Amino acid sequence: LTLTFREPTVHRVPSTNMFVQIRAGMRTTLANRQIVLVIVFQVIVTVVTYVMAFFRPAFIADLVQDDYLLMGFGYAAFACIAALAGHSMRRILERLGESGALVLTYFLVFAPFGLVYLLSIGVFEPATALAVGLVTQASFYVFLGVEVPVVTTILNRRIPSSERATVLAIASFFST
């Protein structure tokens, strides 16, 4: 199957040196306010994602109660949710547009954030906690499936192909 993929013919001009290339990428990034805003958005969402990861283990441990097979099936199911969401990315962009897709991504990560914290400190009754936890995790995995393709698509539409790799590397650098 991999032998059927053909690399598109693109005229590539090697940069004279790495610093020239980075400077050109930074210039392109800073010249377009939308690119900067998308990168800032990605940084904020990444920070929230990492913080959320601290609260999630307590919820997962209570849910599976040392049944690692159940934990594996749970993570596999959530990974399938992320894959389905990522597969729907094109339709999401067509229906909501770029701004709408970013707003959706924002709500998918920030809305469950507070609930996951409340779950981790035991505010909810066990049955309610299970339902709320499953909804927040499903939302989080939909976010994981949609966020990177949406952000990358938005950036790709605004960056000339000659500077795309450098600008995407800059965005990746700031969001990790």
Residues 117-157: tens digit of each pLDDT? 787 787 888 788 778 888 888 888 888 888 888 888 888 88
Report, as an integer, the average pLDDT of 26-45: 84
**Cα separations (Å) of 83 from 71, 94, 157?**
18, 18, 23
pLDDT one-digit tens code per residue, 54-103: 766 666 776 777 788 888 888 888 889 989 988 888 888 889 988 888 88
pTM, two decimal places: 0.70
Catalogue the E-assigned strands of 14-133: none
Whole-angstrom distance, CA of residue 96 vs CA of residue 9: 32
> What pLDDT sits at residue 95?
92
State in Å, rounded, how far the first CA of the chain is from the last one: 32
Whole-angstrom distance, CA of residue 29 vs CA of residue 32: 6
Query: What is the three-class DSSP state of 100?
Result: helix
pLDDT over 70 (residue 20): yes
CA-based torsion, 42, 84, 79, 164: positive or negative: negative
